[in-house]
Structure formats: structure tokens, C-alpha cells
Structure 1
Amino acid sequence: MKLSRLGPVGEEVPVVWEEDRAFDLRPLTADIDGAFLSSDPVAQVRVALADRRLPMVGEADALRVGAPIVRPSAVYCIGMNYAAHAAESGSAPPEHMVMFMKSPNTVVGPNDDVAVPRGSTKTDWEVELGIVIGARASYLESAADARLHIAGYVVANDLSERDWQIAVSGGQWSKGKSGPGFCPLGPALVTPDEIDASDLRLRSWVNGEPRQDSRTSDLIFGIEQIVWELSQYLILEPGDLILTGTPEGVALSGRFPYLTPGDIVELEIEGLGRQRQTVVAG
């Protein structure tokens, strides 16, 4: 099942897609939030569609695509989770999972403009698989238990300002990760019944030129391991977002220039959809 939010900023309508048709979810929920995601949304929506209780949204393709979930209470990020990316960053693959955080207000629509922050000279792109939590997770007994706590998967761009992340970070990465609009998300939240997220191709392009091309099967710490391990240190709430790491092929490698106004960034994950952002001055 594919869930999206369509419409102007602050006025997004939650929808479910059936092929190329979008159906309004407001008879079931005001929005795609933690409360909805924790209440068996797949079963709810299937019954409502069968009963024809969800009106079709006209001209849905012409509407702006918002982030497929409302602002989460937290955005957790796993760093250096592909061995080749760790190498291009000058680091060995981590023995222990690296976690940092982005501000929840970085979450924006998948095709919204990306602003280079004032004073930035090293704004970078990162295509990532995002996990959306569907049930509260605390001290899970095993990695296998994580499956019951995942609402679905999304495409994310973990935009980063590398100078602020590394040179002036003070040892913490979040300063370079939390610029305005630094987490384009979507276009859709795809539920686990529809996709096996453990082996999906993920790619990125800048101005039509290939940058990243890898598979989620190359993650050092896999999807279920991430959710289980995070639950040992913190409480994951319904609607929370976890970014699982990016593969090699970013500007930090030194092989490509950093983003500047006028650039076009595109990202895609197999089965989850595609993003397209225009870079503008902040």
C-alpha cells in the first residue's frame, strides 16, 4: 500500500494510491501521523476502499507532493552504514552503529526546492532508505521483533553541510545535518506488505549525471538490526523516522562538486519512488 500527502504546504491531504488513482483518507484520519500508523492502517484502508468510503481525489497528479508523514517527533540517522561510503569518508567501517539526529523540522516534500544555507560551501546530497515506525519500540527482545514495529519505508535525502558536520562540529554531526529543508521525504510511504526493503536498488543523480548506485543489501547494520539496537537506547514512537545511511558517490568523496544554486538533484529507490529537487540560494 502506498500512502502520500498531497497539496500546499500546511494543507496536505492524506491519500492512498490504487494504481494511478488517489483516494482521500480523511474519512479515516486527519493525517498520516503516529496515531494512524499505530492503528493497523493497512487493514483500515482496505476495508474503507472495499466499502467505497474514500472519495477519489481529482487531478491528483497536478498537486504538490508533501512528505508522506507529518512532522515526526524524532529523526534518527545511522552514519557510515555502507562500507564503501565509510571508505570515501576516510573511515573504517564502524564496529558499533553510529547514530546522530536531524531536526524534525527538516522534513519537507520530495520535490520541494533545496536551499543552500547561508555561508555554506559544502552542501551535499545523500540518498537513503527511511524507516517509519508504526508501533512504540522499547527494549525489543530480538531483531526479528522489529518487523512488528515498522509502518513502512520511504525515500529520503539526508542533505548535509560537510564543513559544519566535520570541521566546526565540535565532534557531533547534527550541526551540519539540520539546515532548513535538509530532509526531503517521499513521494510515498510504502507499507511492508508490499515490498521487501532488504534488497532495493538506490540511486542519485546531479544534473542528470549518475552519482550513487547501490543496494540496501549492502547495509552494514540491516533494517531490523537498526530498529532493535535503537530500542535498547531510546524509545521509538509511532511516526518516528530512521534514516539508514547512504552509499558511496557523494561530494564528500572529492570526486564531485558540492551543490550550488541551479543544480537539479534526483534520487530514487526501487519500488519506493523518485525525488527531484532544484537547488536554490538560501
Structure 2
Amino acid sequence: MRLATLRTPTGTRAVRVESDTTAVPVPGHADVGSLLREEDWAQIAADAPGAPVEFEPKDLAPVVPAPRKIICVGLNYANHIREMGRTPAEHPTLFIKFADALTGPADDVVVPEWANKALDWEGELAVVIGKRARRVTAAEAGAHIAGYAVMNDYSLRDFQNRTLQWHQGKSLEGSAGFGPWLTTADSWQRGGELATWLNGEKVQSTPTDDLVFTPEDLIAYITQLYPLDPGDVIVTGTPGGVGHARDPRRYLTDGDVVAVEIAGLGRIENRTVFER
């Protein structure tokens, strides 16, 4: 099953996606985050009645527009660790992104002048929590995953590397395309390709089972520190191929289109717009 948050003239609505252009609204829920807070969210979505409505990519909001927590993971693909000149870590590298950073899967990413000097692309797999998790083991973690989505995670490399703390380069307002929808955990298996394109050129390509720390590992680690609640998001890291690691370095420019596709989860595409 696929779930999305659809923009309408009267506000957003949670929907069950029937095809890439049609969906059935889920009554009583303005977005997927609201739906996931219901204990029986999957049954509610599956039973939603009514005729499908049509939509276009621009009608899709971030699949969970306002997660209570967005936890990001750095250096979690072996090929990205190598290209950044690092050694594999014993523990996950975590940092926080705010919900203000999220934008729709087909929205423009508008970048202010002061933030456009070292703008990089990062295609990522996002994990969405569907059941509260507190101090769970990796073996138990799968039962707490609602599903998966795609993240187009723009990074400000100059701000990121100003200090030892990465957050300031990772949470620019409206800079992370998130969607196109949530594919429930029972409808998807890891292992297919995660690919990123820059203006049609493939710049990242890695299987999603090449993670150093799996989603289950991450949930087990994070929930020893603090609980994860329905609608919370874990962004699991980017594979090799980022612009910052190239020689010469390659950064995004005005008008560049970044697309990220994960096999079985869909494709998102954001155009980079520099403010004048």
C-alpha cells in the first residue's frame, strides 16, 4: 500500500495512492502523519471508501509534512565513507533536521544568495515510524516501521564544515524533497538501486542493502537514547557520488534539476532556484 499527503484547494488530505496519478482520500486525516498516529492506521487507510481523485506531482506535499523528529545519519554507505576520506564508524553518526527543511517531492528548492556557494546533492532512503519505539532491539525494530520514502537532501557544504557539528549545513528551509509517498513496509524490500540524477546525468547509484547500519540497527540505537513516535523519520544516509567529493568539486547551480529514485519507492525531482 502507498500513502501520500495531497494538497487540495481546501488544505491537505491523507490519501491511499491507487496509481501514479490517482488516490482515494482517507477521511478525517489531513496528512499521513496524522493517520500514522492511529493505532490501526493501516486498516483505516486500506478501508477508505470513495472514488479516486486525480493528482499531479506538484499536488503532493511532503509525505509527512511535520514529523516530531527527523533524525539523519551521516557516513552510512561504505562507498561514501571512502570518497569522503573517513573510516567506518563503530556507532552511527546522528544529526537532526527540522521539519521546516522539508518540501514536496516536485517542489522547487529556493536557495538564498548566501547559501548557494557550495550546494550539494544527496539522494537518501527515508524510514517512517508507524508505532512508538522505546528501547527496542534490532530484532524488534521492524515491527515499528510504517514504511519507506525517498529524500532529496540538499546540503550546504560550506556551512556543514564550519564546525564539527553538521546540523547548520543540513537543515536549510525548504531544501529536502520528501516523497513521493510512503510505501508500507509489507510492500517493499531493500536491495534495489538508489540513484540520483543531475540534469539527467546519473551521479549516484548504489543498492539500498549496502548500508553500514540498517534501519533496524538505527532504530535500536536511537531508541536507547529517546523514543521514536509514529510519523518520525530517519534519513539513512547518502551513497557515494556527491559533488563535494569530486575532483574538482562540483556544486549545484541555478536551474539544476536533482532527481532521486529508489527502486520500488518512486522518484522525486526538485529544481534548484537561486534567489536574486
Under a length normalisation based on structure 1, what TM-score does the superposition of the two structures give?
0.91
**Conserved? CA contact 2:18–2:52, under 8 Å:** no
Structure 2 residue aligned with 1:171, among 164, 175, 182?
Answer: 164
Match in the other structure for 2:16: 16
The answer on 1:132 being equivalent to 2:134 is: no
Quickly say closer, same or farther: Cα 1:234–1:114, change in 2 above 3 A. Answer: same
Match in the other structure for 2:245: 253
Match in the other structure for 1:123: 119
**Conserved? CA contact 1:37–1:151, under 8 Å:** no
Match in the other structure for 2:187: 194
Structure 1 residue aligned with 2:174, among 178, 181, 206?
Answer: 181
Q: Partners of 1:215 and 1:202 in 2: how far apart? A: 6
Match in the other structure for 2:213: 221
Alpha-carbon offset, residue 28 of structure 1: 4.3
**Conserved? CA contact 1:80–1:86, under 8 Å:** yes
Q: Partners of 2:8 and 2:71 in 1: how far apart? A: 26
Quickly say closer, same or farther: Cα 1:10–1:86, change in 2 above 3 A. Answer: farther
- Range with bigger deviation, 38-47 or 206-215: 38-47
Match in the other structure for 1:46: 46
Return structure 1 stretches of 4+ with deviation > 6 angstroms.
Answer: none
Quickly say closer, same or farther: Cα 1:134–1:10, change in 2 above 3 A. Answer: farther
SS, match of residue 224 in structure 1: helix
**Conserved? CA contact 1:199–1:215, under 8 Å:** yes
SS, match of residue 5 in structure 2: strand
Match in the other structure for 1:67: 62
- Fraction of identical pairs, as percent: 39
Alpha-carbon offset, residue 34 of structure 1: 4.7
More strand by share: 2
Q: Partners of 1:186 and 1:102 in 2: how far apart? A: 16
Quickly say closer, same or farther: Cα 1:10–1:84, change in 2 above 3 A. Answer: farther
- Range with bigger deviation, 61-70 or 89-98: 61-70
For residues 4-54 of structure 1, give each alpha carbon's deviation from its aligned partner in whole angstroms, at most 9, with x where no partner exists. Answer: 1222699222211123531111x2423212553442322222233xxxx23
The answer on 1:151 being equivalent to 2:146 is: yes
Structure 2 residue aligned with 1:275, among 249, 252, 268?
Answer: 268
Quickly say closer, same or farther: Cα 1:65–1:30, change in 2 above 3 A. Answer: closer
Q: Partners of 1:206 and 1:9 in 2: how far apart? A: 32
Q: Partners of 2:9 and 2:151 in 1: how far apart? A: 18
Under a length normalisation based on structure 2, what TM-score does the superposition of the two structures give?
0.93
Alpha-carbon offset, residue 90 of structure 1: 1.6
- Range with bigger deviation, 265-274 or 117-126: 117-126
Alpha-carbon offset, residue 276 of structure 1: 1.1
Alpha-carbon offset, residue 277 of structure 1: 1.0
Q: Partners of 1:10 and 1:269 in 2: how far apart? A: 31
Q: Partners of 1:9 and 1:79 in 2: how far apart? A: 38
**Conserved? CA contact 2:104–2:177, under 8 Å:** yes
**Conserved? CA contact 2:124–2:153, under 8 Å:** yes
For residues 104-157 of structure 1, give each alpha carbon's deviation from its aligned partner in whole angstroms, at most 9, with x where no partner exists. Answer: 2111101111123332311111000000111111111x2011111111100001
Unaligned runs of 5+ in 2: none
For residues 206-240 of structure 1, give each alpha carbon's deviation from its aligned partner in whole angstroms, at most 9, with x where no partner exists. Answer: 11111000011110001111111110111111111
Match in the other structure for 1:212: 204
SS, match of residue 193 in structure 1: helix
Q: Partners of 2:31 and 2:156 in 1: how far apart? A: 31
Say what the alpha-carbon RMSD is for the aligned residues.
1.8
Q: Partners of 1:9 and 1:231 in 2: how far apart? A: 39
Match in the other structure for 1:5: 5
Match in the other structure for 1:162: 157
SS, match of residue 47 in structure 2: helix
